[in-house]
């Protein structure tokens, strides 16, 4: 029986605030899974802690809601143990680039074949609006008592510097576009990072939906909103590394850095960088363990019918023999 | 004359080959049918600081060390300065004759405390190495001067090797060969040990062999005193033996026990286990010619990643472990709690070392008992077990997995530095003595079937609290985990009634474990049924205590030893029973407060009258165990005894 979009939904009551950008991300994830026809049992959504962290409970595939900042290592353990699974990691900007920043860096260097989506709302939603690592220095959202004292990081540039092989940005109120990015991320071999601009109407009144949509700029546009967000596709941008065709990683990355640095009146979304020339972590294991693809850790039997070990350690003991 | 019973020590700067010499010495003894137990002591340093290795040799199996050294082999000044006092009368001290005029105050790596003490003790003039040698001689220690540089010249002319950098490395083998010559041990065993150790490198083996011969002959020709001990080949029984350390014993146990994914962040003294596993990541399978099983060993960015990644592996249905030591273990606390509430079978091997904080990274302590039991917020089920010798390290590695899977909770396997860095000759392990028990796990060949229309509930309430477990990726089933309190399906709940039911389900599994786990895996008891003194301990103190208890019983003392193996759930009833039959109770352990004594008090209400503790970073010796127990038995002991032996 073919799976329908509704098969990817659960009946769990969704307790996000009305108007929250998280809804758009959830829909895009469900649509992408449905359109990619990912098997429910072979797919796992792993999340951190935050408003964003509740996502797995709303998606009808196996869902692992982990610790604040730690979804990446949990997911890495799952995927390496069973490379046949489709692994989608989701989490907040605080989760991923604040408390989990060390894992963010390490995951880029490993390039495990999975998707990582950050809900980028500039705030710590679930703890009531403190500044997240993507909030600009000096910004005072309504949740803050004083303007933000810490500079922001640029998730896209950080990701490229860490070695992520697919770096993209979506906007939670452009669900169709976000869905196509997530589909491309699922198709990508390697860790695909997607930063999603996600308005938090409750705590971030600066980077709001209205602001992204440019409603404050209607005077410049004959009374109609002048959106800040535009797609890279509309500029004919090519994110793909293809060394043989003369577009090596450095060349593409320099272009990508330029677009990724844009902010303010024009904010690009789309795929910034895609490099399938870097081996995945699974490929690297395979170099050392040729049995890995056929018999990864999760597919190995460890005991025989009599519950006795199947590993033969006699040779190891011989090496130590006296 | 004492035959085949001695303690030998070699010391030198870190990186100067002390380990290799000890290895050559131990192997040579083992080749001759003798049993050895050795411990390595070293600073948290790579090159230059003092390190030493003590090897005890006996004609029967040994698992602990004595205080005294029968033979001290040195090739530098510092080793003499640190250890000269430990050599017994009638024993021997081997030293470099070129160093006699070296002033103690000029040894830069020697702690000021030691320099000042020696200066006070030998006040006439600034003490030199010669002063210390004289002090040994006057106590009846045989001192054996070796002119290392002239021996190196002989070796150079025999081998044609002129490079000092290469020749210099021969001092280790010279020290070992001199030792064996003094002990009248067969040089053939020494040479076969050298060949084995330098196996791949033929020239190196040959040159070391020549060095050994030269040194051996030198002693025969120039040293005519008879020292009090002697080593001789003994016939060996049939069983095969190996020489290994605790890291290797645990690693082998994990491989046999079904480990297929191990994560770690480097830390002393745990990391050697992971690197050993990495080296052997592909292993042969029983009865399948050429087929290989494999373990993925992954070095993570920190211990938080190590434990959470391991949990990920366990969720995928794999026997997964991580191994660490104090500081790393502290970082794992939150992850272990997550595994507890989500009922994930993951094994954490914690090699305890001297804390708190960075503490003494390369030194011994059993300081993490309470933290292993209580670390983390909230109440969640976990098990804590501890191993006390090489055999236990091996079999417990599998027990840890069995418990983890059977009771679906994290298991903390406590090892310590003394075990990790002790090298012992032991009989081969017998993996067929292991049973692999995966509990209620529907993977690994056990079919998983859902009734029509049934929804899989990972945390289904059952009679005994154990819910059927499936790996992520099981066809036809999805499930949820969350660190939040959850429903049977695994979705978040804050319902007070469900909360209670879930807490009771989870925590109840500990009672089940205590009921089901065989007595032999919970504790070992040795000695008299109704002892005047009951010693309770855990972990690597076992060897020393057993030997002390044996000795005291031979003197007619009534004494019993309860060795705790399972710490959580705590076998309180059993402890109460043993305590009820005993006169006095002493808890002996290597930490400051007496953590096990506290735990016994908490669980049984019994306040052990005596706490024998040690926290100077050095493992307990047989002598320390014996004399402290004797004092207690004879009514001469303080309630709190602090042991202090060790350099
Ligand atoms: C170790 C730890 N520290 C702090 C918290 C409290 N906490 C819960 S959610 C959160 C921040 C969430 O912000 P973000 O990751 O950006 O997610 P959002 O809610 O914005 O989606 C924090 C700090 C926690 N759960 N765990
Ligand atoms: S606090 Fe913000 S991010 Fe969280 S649910 Fe509400 S609107 Fe969304
Ligand atoms: Mg956020």
Among chain B residues, CA nearest to A56: B480
Q: What is the DSSP string of B120-172?
A: HHS-SS--BHHHHHHHHHHTT-EEEEE-HHHHHHHHHHHH----HHHHGGGHH
Q: Tell me: the pLDDT tens digits for A223-240?
A: 999 999 999 999 999 999
* Whether pLDDT at B447 is above 80: no
Q: Considering the domain B2-230 in this protein, what is its CATH number?
A: 3.40.920.10
Give the pLDDT mean for B263-270: 98
Ramachandran category for residue A144: left, alpha or beta (phi over 0 → left; psi -120 to 50 → alpha): beta
* Model pLDDT, residue B446: 76
- A93 Cβ below 6 A of ligand 2: no
* Model pLDDT, residue A123: 98
CA of B363 to the centre of ligand 3 (A): 43
User: Cα separation of A129 and A122, whole Å?
Assistant: 9
Q: Tell me: the pLDDT tens digits for B32-51?
A: 999 999 999 999 999 999 99
* Model pLDDT, residue B409: 98
**Upper half-sphere CA count for residue A203 (Cβ side, 13 Å):** 21
In the stretch 271-310 of chain A, residues with CB closer than 8 A to chain B read 285, 288-289, 291-292, 295-298, 300-304, 307-310
CA of A200 to the centre of ligand 2 (A): 5
- A196 Cβ below 6 A of ligand 2: no
Q: Please determine whether the domains at B2-230 and B247-433 fall in the same fold group of CATH.
A: no
User: Cα separation of A206 and B438, whole Å?
Assistant: 53
* Model pLDDT, residue B449: 80
Q: Which of B52, B51, B50, B83 is nearest to B68 (CA)?
A: B83
Q: Which two tokens stand for residue A136?
A: 């600009």
Domain boundary assignment for chain B: 2-230, 247-433, 522-643
Contact across the interface for A63 and B429, Cβ inside 8 Å: no
Q: Tell me: the pLDDT tens digits for A61-107?
A: 999 999 999 999 999 999 999 999 999 999 999 999 999 999 999 99
With cut-offs at 50, 70 and 90, classify the pLDDT of residue B236. confident
Please give, rounded to a whole number of angstroms, the shortest distance from the CA of A74 to a CA of chain B.
5
Give the pLDDT mean for A126-141: 98
User: Cα separation of B627 and B283, whole Å?
Assistant: 46
Residues in chain A: 322
Q: Which of B280, B272, B269, B71 is nearest to B182 (CA)?
A: B71
* Whether pLDDT at A1 is above 70: no
Contacts of A296 in chain B (CB under 8 A): 296
Give chain B's mean pLDDT: 96
Please give, rounded to a whole number of angstroms, the shortest distance from the CA of B243 to a CA of chain A.
6
Contact across the interface for B480 and A322, Cβ inside 8 Å: no
Q: Which two tokens stand for residue A169?
A: 């940005």
State CA B88 to chain mean position distance: 27
* Whether pLDDT at B287 is above 90: no
Find the CB nearest A309 among B295, B431, B472: B431
Interface with A, mutate which of B37, B194, B291, B293 (most A CBs under 10 A): B293
For residue A287, count other CB atoms closer than 10 A to its CB.
9
* Model pLDDT, residue B237: 84
Query: In this structure, are residues A259 and A232 in contact, taking their beta carbons and an 8 Å threshold?
Result: yes
- A125 Cβ below 6 A of ligand 2: yes
With cut-offs at 50, 70 and 90, classify the pLDDT of residue B290. confident
**Among the CATH numbers 3.40.50.300, 3.40.50.970, 3.90.850.10, 3.40.50.1000, which is that of B247-433?**
3.40.50.970
Domains and CATH numbers, chain A: 9-282 (3.40.50.970), 289-320 (no CATH)
Show the DSSP H helices in A191-311 as ranges: 209-212, 249-260, 281-288
Q: What is the DSSP string of B246-289?
A: HHHHHHHHHHHTT--EEEE---TTTHHHHHHHHHT-EEEETTEE
Contact across the interface for A311 and B243, Cβ inside 8 Å: no
Contact across the interface for B445 and A301, Cβ inside 8 Å: yes
Q: Tell me: the pLDDT tens digits for A288-309?
A: 999 999 999 999 999 998 999 9
User: Cα separation of B469 and B472, whole Å?
Assistant: 10
Contact across the interface for B491 and A12, Cβ inside 8 Å: yes
Burial label for B518, CB within 10 Å (0-12, 13-18, 19+), is exposed
Which ligand 1 atom is nearest residue A96's CA? Answer: 15
Topology annotation, domain B522-643? Rossmann fold (3.40.50)
Query: In this structure, are residues B503 and B379 in contact, taking their beta carbons and an 8 Å threshold?
Result: yes
Q: What percent of chain B has pLDDT over 90?
A: 94
Q: Tell me: the pLDDT tens digits for B486-520?
A: 999 999 999 999 999 999 999 999 999 999 999 99
Phi, psi of B243 (to 5 degrees): -115, 115
Q: Tell me: the pLDDT tens digits for B134-181?
A: 999 999 999 999 999 999 999 999 999 999 999 999 999 999 999 999
Contacts of A308 in chain B (CB under 8 A): 431-432, 434-436
Strands of A61-197 (E only): list them: 62-65, 86-92, 114-120, 123-124, 130-131, 166-171, 191-197
Contacts of A307 in chain B (CB under 8 A): 435-437
Touching check for A33 and chain B: CB below 8 Å? no
* Model pLDDT, residue A44: 98
Which ligand 1 atom is nearest residue A22's CA? Answer: 21
Contacts of B443 in chain A (CB under 8 A): 298
Burial label for A223, CB within 10 Å (0-12, 13-18, 19+), is exposed
DSSP-derived secondary structure letter, B356: S
Contact across the interface for A316 and B286, Cβ inside 8 Å: no
Instruction: State the residue for tokens 């046949």.
Output: A84
* Whether pLDDT at B129 is above 80: yes
User: Cα separation of B577 and B558, whole Å?
Assistant: 17
User: Cα separation of B424 and B202, whole Å?
Assistant: 27
- A25 Cβ below 6 A of ligand 2: no
- A16 Cβ below 6 A of ligand 2: yes
Give the pLDDT mean for B375-390: 98
- In order of A169, B94, B385, B546, the CA distances from B524 in angstroms are 61, 42, 13, 11
Contact across the interface for A41 and B475, Cβ inside 8 Å: yes
Give the pLDDT mean for B624-635: 98
Q: Tell me: the pLDDT tens digits for B386-445?
A: 999 999 999 999 999 999 999 999 999 999 999 999 999 999 999 999 999 999 998 877
Give chain A's mean pLDDT: 97
* Whether pLDDT at B28 is above 80: yes
- In order of A23, A92, B262, B321, B359, the CA distances from B306 in angstroms are 32, 21, 9, 9, 22
Going by alpha carbons, the residue nearest to atom 2 of ligand 2 is A200
Q: Which of B40, B16, B141 is nearest to B84 (CA)?
A: B141
Order the strands of the B241-245 sheet from edge to edge: B142-146, B87-96, B69-73, B5-13, B50-58, B35-41, B422-427, B241-245
Going by alpha carbons, the residue nearest to atom 7 of ligand 1 is A127
Q: Which two tokens stand for residue B106?
A: 């000029």
With cut-offs at 50, 70 and 90, classify the pLDDT of residue B349. very high
CA of A196 to the centre of ligand 2 (A): 14
Instruction: State the residue for tokens 């991580």.
Output: B322
With cut-offs at 50, 70 and 90, classify the pLDDT of residue A244. very high
Q: Which two tokens stand for residue A55?
A: 């996502």
Which ligand 2 atom is nearest residue A15's CA? Answer: 5
With cut-offs at 50, 70 and 90, classify the pLDDT of residue B1. confident
Q: Which of A186, A162, A181, A202 is nearest to A50 (CA)?
A: A202
């Amino acid at each position: 029986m073919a799976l329908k979009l509704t098969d990817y939904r659960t009946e769990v009551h969704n307790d996000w605030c009305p108007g929250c950008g998280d809804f758009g991300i959830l829909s895009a994830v469900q649509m992408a899974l449905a359109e990619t026809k990912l098997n429910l049992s072979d797919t796992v959504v792993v999340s951190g802690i935050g408003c964003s962290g509740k996502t797995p409970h709303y998606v009808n595939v196996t869902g692992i809601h982990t610790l604040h900042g730690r979804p990446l290592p949990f997911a890495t353990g799952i995927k390496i143990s069973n490379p046949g699974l489709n692994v989608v990691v989701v989490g907040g900007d605080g989760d991923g680039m604040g408390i989990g920043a060390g894992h963010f860096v390490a995951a880029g260097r490993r390039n495990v074949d999975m998707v990582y989506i950050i809900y980028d709302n500039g705030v710590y939603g679930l703890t009531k609006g403190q500044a997240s690592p993507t909030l600009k220095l000096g910004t005072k959202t309504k949740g803050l008592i004083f303007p933000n004292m810490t500079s922001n990081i640029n998730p896209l540039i950080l990701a490229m510097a860490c070695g992520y092989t697919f770096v993209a940005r979506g906007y939670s109120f452009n669900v169709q576009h976000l869905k196509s990015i997530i589909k491309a991320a699922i198709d990508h071999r390697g860790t695909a990072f997607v930063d999603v601009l996600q308005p938090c109407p409750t705590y971030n009144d600066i980077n709001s939906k209205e602001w992204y949509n440019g409603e404050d700029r209607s005077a410049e546009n004959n009374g109609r909103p002048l959106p800040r967000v535009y797609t890279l596709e509309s500029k004919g941008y090519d994110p793909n590394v293809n060394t043989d065709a003369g577009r090596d990683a450095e060349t593409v990355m320099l272009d990508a850095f330029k677009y990724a640095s844009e902010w303010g009146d024009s904010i690009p979304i789309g795929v910034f960088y895609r490099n399938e020339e870097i081996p995945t972590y699974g490929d690297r294991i395979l170099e050392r363990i040729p049995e890995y693809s056929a018999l990864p850790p999760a597919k190995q039997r460890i005991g025989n019918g009599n519950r006795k070990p199947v590993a033969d350690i006699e040779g190891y003991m011989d090496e130590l023999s006296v | 004359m004492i035959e085949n019973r001695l303690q030998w020590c070699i010391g030198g700067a870190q990186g100067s080959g002390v380990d290799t010499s000890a290895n050559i010495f131990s192997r040579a003894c083992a080749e001759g049918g003798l049993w050895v137990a050795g411990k390595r002591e070293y600073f948290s340093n790579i090159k230059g600081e003092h390190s030493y290795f003590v090897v005890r040799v006996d004609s029967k199996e040994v698992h602990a060390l004595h205080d005294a050294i029968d033979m001290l082999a040195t090739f530098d000044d510092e080793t003499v300065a640190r250890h000269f006092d430990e050599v017994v009368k009638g024993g021997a001290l081997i030293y470099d004759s070129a160093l006699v005029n070296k002033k103690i105050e000029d040894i830069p790596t020697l702690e000021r405390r030691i320099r000042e003490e020696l200066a006070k003790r030998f006040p006439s003039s600034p003490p030199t190495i010669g002063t210390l040698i004289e002090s040994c001689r006057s106590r009846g220690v045989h001192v054996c001067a070796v002119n290392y540089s002239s021996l190196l010249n002989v070796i150079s002319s025999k081998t044609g090797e002129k490079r000092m950098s290469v020749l210099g490395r021969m001092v280790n083998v010279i020290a070992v060969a001199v030792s064996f010559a003094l002990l009248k041990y067969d040089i053939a065993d020494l040479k076969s040990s050298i060949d084995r150790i330098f196996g791949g490198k033929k020239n190196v083996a040959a040159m070391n062999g020549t060095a050994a011969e030269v040194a051996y002959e030198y002693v025969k020709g120039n040293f005519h005193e008879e020292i009090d001990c002697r080593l001789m080949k003994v016939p060996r029984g049939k069983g095969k033996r190996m020489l290994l350390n605790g890291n290797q014993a645990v690693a082998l146990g994990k491989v046999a026990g079904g480990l297929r994914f191990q994560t770690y962040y480097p830390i002393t003294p745990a990391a050697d286990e992971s690197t050993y596993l990495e080296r052997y990541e592909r292993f042969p399978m029983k009865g399948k010619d050429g087929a290989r099983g494999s373990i993925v060993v992954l070095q993570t960015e920190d211990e938080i990643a190590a434990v959470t990644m391991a949990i990920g592996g366990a969720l995928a249905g794999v026997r997964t472990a991580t191994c660490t030591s104090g500081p790393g273990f502290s970082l794992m606390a939150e992850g272990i709690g997550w595994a507890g509430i989500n009922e994930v079978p993951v094994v954490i091997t914690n090699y305890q070392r001297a804390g708190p904080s960075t503490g003494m990274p390369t030194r011994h302590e059993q300081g993490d008992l309470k933290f292993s039991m209580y670390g983390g917020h909230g109440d969640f089920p976990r098990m804590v077990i501890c191993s006390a010798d090489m055999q236990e390290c091996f079999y417990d590695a599998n027990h840890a997995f069995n418990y983890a899977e059977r009771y679906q909770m994290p298991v903390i396997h406590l090892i310590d530095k003394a075990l990790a860095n002790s090298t012992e000759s032991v009989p081969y392990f017998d993996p067929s003595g292991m049973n692999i028990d995966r509990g209620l796990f529907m993977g690994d060949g056990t079919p998983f079937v859902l009734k029509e229309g049934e929804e899989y509930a990972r945390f289904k309430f059952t009679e005994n609290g154990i819910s059927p477990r499936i790996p992520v990726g099981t066809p036809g089933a999805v499930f949820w985990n969350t660190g939040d309190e959850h429903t049977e399906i695994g979705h978040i709940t804050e319902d007070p009634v469900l909360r209670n039911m879930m807490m009771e389900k989870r925590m109840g599994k500990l009672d089940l474990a205590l009921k089901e786990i065989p007595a032999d895996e919970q504790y070992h008891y040795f000695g008299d049924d109704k002892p005047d003194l009951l010693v309770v301990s855990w972990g690597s103190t076992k060897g020393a205590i057993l030997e002390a208890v044996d000795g005291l019983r031979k003197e007619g003392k009534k004494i019993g030893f309860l060795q705790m193996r399972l710490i959580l759930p705590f076998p309180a009833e059993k402890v109460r029973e043993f305590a009820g039959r005993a006169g006095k109770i002493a808890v002996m352990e290597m930490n400051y407060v007496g953590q096990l004594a506290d735990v016994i008090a908490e669980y049984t209400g019994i306040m052990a009258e005596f706490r024998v503790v040690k926290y100077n970073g050095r493992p307990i010796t047989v002598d320390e165990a014996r004399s402290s127990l004797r004092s207690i038995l004879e009514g001469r002991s303080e309630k709190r005894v602090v042991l202090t032996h060790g350099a």
